[in-house]
Amino acid sequence: MDLEGVIGHHPIKKDSWKTVLTLAYQSLGVVYGDLSTSPLYVYKSTFAEDIQHSETNEEIYGVLSFVFWTLTLIPLVKYVFIVLRADDNGEGGTFALYSLLCRHARVSSLPNCQVADQELSEYTKDGVVSPTKTRAGSTLKSTLEKYRVLQTVLLVLALIGTCMVIGDGVLTPAISVFSAVSGLELSMHKEQHRYVEVPVACAILIFLFALQHYGTHRLAFLFAPIVITWLLCISAIGVYNIAHWNPHVYQALSPYYMYKFLKKTQRGGWMSLGGILLCITGSEAMFADLGHFSQLSIQIAFTFVVYPSLILAYMGQAAYLSKHHNLETNYRIGFYVSVPEVIRWPVLGIAILAAVVGSQAVITGTFSIIKQCSALGCFPRVKIVHTSSKIHGQIYIPEINWTLMLLCLSVTIGFRDTKRLGNASGLAVITVMLVTTCLMSLVMVLCWHKSIFLAICFIFFFGSIEALYFSASLIKFLEGAWVPVALSFIFLVVMYVWHYGTRKKYESDVQNKVSINWLLDLGPTLGIVRVRGIGLIHTELVSGIPAVFSHFVTNLPAFHQVVVFLCIKSVPVPHVRPEERFLVGRVGPKEYRLYRCIARYGYHDVHKDDTEFEKDLVRSIAEFIRSERPECDPKIEELESDEKMTVVGTSSSNIKGIRLSEDGDSSEIAGTSELREIRSPKRVRKRVRFVVPESPRIDREAQEELQELMEAREAGMAFILGHSYVRAKRGSGLMKRLVINVGYDFLRRNFRGPSYALSIPHASTLEVGMVYHV
């Protein structure tokens, strides 16, 4: 699967209005499904037990005022007008903010960063040079770079936000589907519906997670119409209830009613804020899904469609409840009681469909953020299946999907009510928002170079609001809020252990790499027989000779005539353009035929399949040989340092360079009379040729080197994987021994290995393990 043509460049800089409106329409089905279904459970969760609906209506008016101002300040002001501007070359989310910070200050969690990575087109946002730095920004940057503990705190903060997003992927489908199904309670006795509600919700959830395997791109065209129908439905019901029951309910939008609410209810009102905050669940999706749309399209969709619909829906519910005070608080104060009985069943059907769409968006977002974490070395390798060859971002992770399903069913069956599900979901939502606020304040200073006073005002204003909701959610710890804390703690431990172990493993590889003097002493033959073929040695090192190579040379009687040290690394940008994919250089003198190739991928990039990758790899080495300038032999000091690397693109991005044709495929050179061919002998099984441009001319030495490379390619390619097993040194502390010897070792053994991640055929793979003590 090759999506590089689709994602190679930053999508759409200046959209036409037709394009913007089309993206806004599509975003309604992907981004706002979760947020639009929040009226199903907000009032029910708020009035669960902390406050009572009285004849004075002070409680219902106060709740409506809180809902209105919360929706206005957090999703509308904070996200739509501020946070959406902090995109990482069009991508959004917690890791996008962390990636921005890593590029503007040396705080990256990736161990094998290079200076060459800073020359990538997307490294500097949109190719624009940053404005003049402020003094406060320079001081903050130097402080972060100086103290390793601050870098760790920043990483842990980003991981906490990520873990809460994963926890939300468990809780949102549960509460959305359960609340939608709860409409059945109005058509049967209370004792009966509790035995129907849970099985129906579980059946829908199982169907939802089973559907992930087939991909959602086939049904995605239905998502936007479903959400639009739902928004029109709740807004129309809201207008009807306002007009029919209480036309003066708009007065409750005044902040004065919030004051009256808290004055009357006091501690109970403060605790009920945990239910009110559910009105903004799904707001983070506006930022997280930014990469699939545009900033303007998401702003238009929320400001002119979603926001007014939600306000009308909440006002309509409040208008109805203000004239009905004889309802059973824990049973019939939900969404469906305000729906006219004539249309209750159709609304129930639309609500279930909208809940499924909203849950689908959260599940897809969970897959996406786990892929980002894995690419940036903060999550063990998992199987990633791309369910669509045309729509970038449609991925499926089997292990995560079934884990989410089991956890989702567990909390649904275990809680069996909206109150505790709401407590759990609320804490996850508000924690992610707090993390976003903290990271945004750093982005303002380090990336936007705004005054530190503005950043303090931002974190104080929005942080105070979110801290108030956070405290109200945390007080419900024993009543369901412990679930996201427990889930996040487990995922945080897994992520940090994997990151710590991976970093220690890389440091041990660096410490044990072989000196260039050892290589020069062996001579061009390396002291052994050089046989035809390409030996591809996978390593995490971006410079130097890995220790595993010396192990092969000293223990094997023969080795390949062409050796390539391959490093597949992730860089802290969402995408690497195809023309900047490879860094190619030499290891040692020319006659040794040792090359280093670094394949760079962004955290949202799609890896090519193994066949296409092999062709691009060989072609990039050939292009390096052709374009290399003849120079005098470098000194040993220069060889010992980082090799001079050349940027080489993929075959699809460099049509003027060398092209590779295999097995007699002549389609590539049709009508190219200005090109000449270097052919290999016809006696071999696989026919390989390089199509080389006439200009510039290449010297005889380069032609011979290309000939050797072709013969080696025809003979075949062997993949050598060196596994460096790390163990804690003797005398290490108990915590370090537990993390390295138990935690990291368990994750390494039970998750995917590097051979699977590279799609390497097992028949041509040689794996050798080496143990290092760290």
Name the token pair of 246: 């209480």
Which of the four pLDDT bands, split at 50, 70 and 90, describes residue 689? low
Residue (of 243, 265, 237) closest to 66 by Cα position: 265
Asked if residue 676 is part of any domain, the answer here is: no
Name the token pair of 220: 């995605």
Q: Specify the pLDDT at position 666.
A: 39
**Across 119-133, 194-208, 665-679, which has the greatest mean pLDDT?**
194-208
- Asked if 361 and 387 sit in the same domain, the reply is yes
Q: Specify the pLDDT at position 470.
A: 94
Asked if residue 577 is part of any domain, the answer here is: yes
Domain end position, chosen among 466, 500, 534: 500
Asked if residue 172 is part of any domain, the answer here is: yes
| DSSP-derived pairing of the beta strands 395-396 and 385-386 | antiparallel
Q: Give the C-alpha separation, 378 to 249, whole Å.
A: 49
- Asked if 411 and 542 sit in the same domain, the reply is no
CA dihedral 245, 251, 253, 259 (to 10 degrees): -120
Residue 520 contacts by C-beta under 8 Å, 6 or more apart in sequence?
588, 589, 636, 639
Asked if residue 638 is part of any domain, the answer here is: no
- Asked if 488 and 571 sit in the same domain, the reply is no
Which of the pair, 309 or 630, is modelled with greater confidence?
309
Which of the four pLDDT bands, split at 50, 70 and 90, describes residue 413? very high
Q: Specify the pLDDT at position 697.
A: 66
> Among the listed ranges 168-177, 308-317, 679-688, which one has the minimum average pLDDT value?
679-688
- Asked if 418 and 561 sit in the same domain, the reply is no
Name the token pair of 360: 């689908």
Q: Specify the pLDDT at position 761.
A: 54
CATH number, residue 403: 1.20.1740
Beta-ladder partners of 586: 595
- Asked if 495 and 578 sit in the same domain, the reply is no
Q: Specify the pLDDT at position 492.
A: 93
Q: Specify the pLDDT at position 1.
A: 38
Asked if residue 716 is part of any domain, the answer here is: yes
Which of the four pLDDT bands, split at 50, 70 and 90, describes residue 561? confident
- Work out the angle at residue 351's Cα, subtended by the Cα atoms of residues 349 and 353, and round it to the nearest 5 degrees: 70
pLDDT above 70: residue 130: no
- Asked if 197 and 283 sit in the same domain, the reply is yes
Q: Give the C-alpha separation, 465 to 461, whole Å.
A: 7
Question: What percent of the chain has pLDDT above 90?
Answer: 27
Q: Specify the pLDDT at position 191.
A: 64
Neighbours of 707 (CB within 10 A): 15
Neighbours of 557 (CB within 10 A): 7
- The residue-averaged pLDDT of 33-41 equals 91
Which of the four pLDDT bands, split at 50, 70 and 90, describes residue 676? very low
> Among the listed ranges 209-218, 409-418, 543-552, 631-640, which one has the minimum average pLDDT value?
631-640
- Work out the angle at residue 482's Cα, subtended by the Cα atoms of residues 499 and 40, and round it to the nearest 5 degrees: 110
Residue 426: half-sphere exposure toward Cβ, Cα within 13 Å: 34
Task: Output the average pLDDT for the chain.
Answer: 81
Which of the four pLDDT bands, split at 50, 70 and 90, describes residue 218? low
- The residue-averaged pLDDT of 686-706 equals 71
- Tell me which residue range forms the domain holding 705: 513-628+698-773
- Asked if 286 and 331 sit in the same domain, the reply is yes
For 505-515, the pLDDT digits (tens) are 888 888 888 88
- Asked if 416 and 545 sit in the same domain, the reply is no
Which of the four pLDDT bands, split at 50, 70 and 90, describes residue 694? low
For 513-532, the pLDDT digits (tens) are 888 888 888 877 777 788 88
pLDDT above 50: residue 606: yes
Which of the four pLDDT bands, split at 50, 70 and 90, describes residue 665? very low
pLDDT above 60: residue 755: no
Which of the pair, 135 or 493, is modelled with greater confidence?
493
- Asked if 360 and 263 sit in the same domain, the reply is yes
Contact 713, 618 (CB under 8 A): yes
Model pTM score: 0.84
Asked if residue 7 is part of any domain, the answer here is: no
- Asked if 720 and 615 sit in the same domain, the reply is yes
Q: Which residue has the tokens 């129930």?
A: 348
pLDDT above 80: residue 245: yes
- Asked if 271 and 219 sit in the same domain, the reply is yes
The tally of domains found in the chain comes to 2
For 343-398, the pLDDT digits (tens) are 988 999 999 999 999 888 888 888 888 888 888 888 888 888 877 665 566 778 88
C-alpha distances in angstroms, 383 versus 25, 306, 400, 625? 32, 36, 9, 35
> Among the listed ranges 80-84, 226-230, 425-429, 669-673, which one has the minimum average pLDDT value?
669-673
Asked if residue 654 is part of any domain, the answer here is: no
Which of the four pLDDT bands, split at 50, 70 and 90, describes residue 306? very high
Which of the pair, 410 or 587, is modelled with greater confidence?
410
Name the token pair of 420: 């505790």
3-state SS assignment for residue 514: strand
- Asked if 271 and 200 sit in the same domain, the reply is yes
Asked if residue 186 is part of any domain, the answer here is: yes
Q: Give the C-alpha separation, 659 to 49, whole Å.
A: 71
pLDDT above 70: residue 674: no
Sign of the torsion formed by the C-alpha atoms of 689, 690, 694 and 700: negative
C-alpha distances in angstroms, 191 versus 45, 186, 198? 20, 12, 13
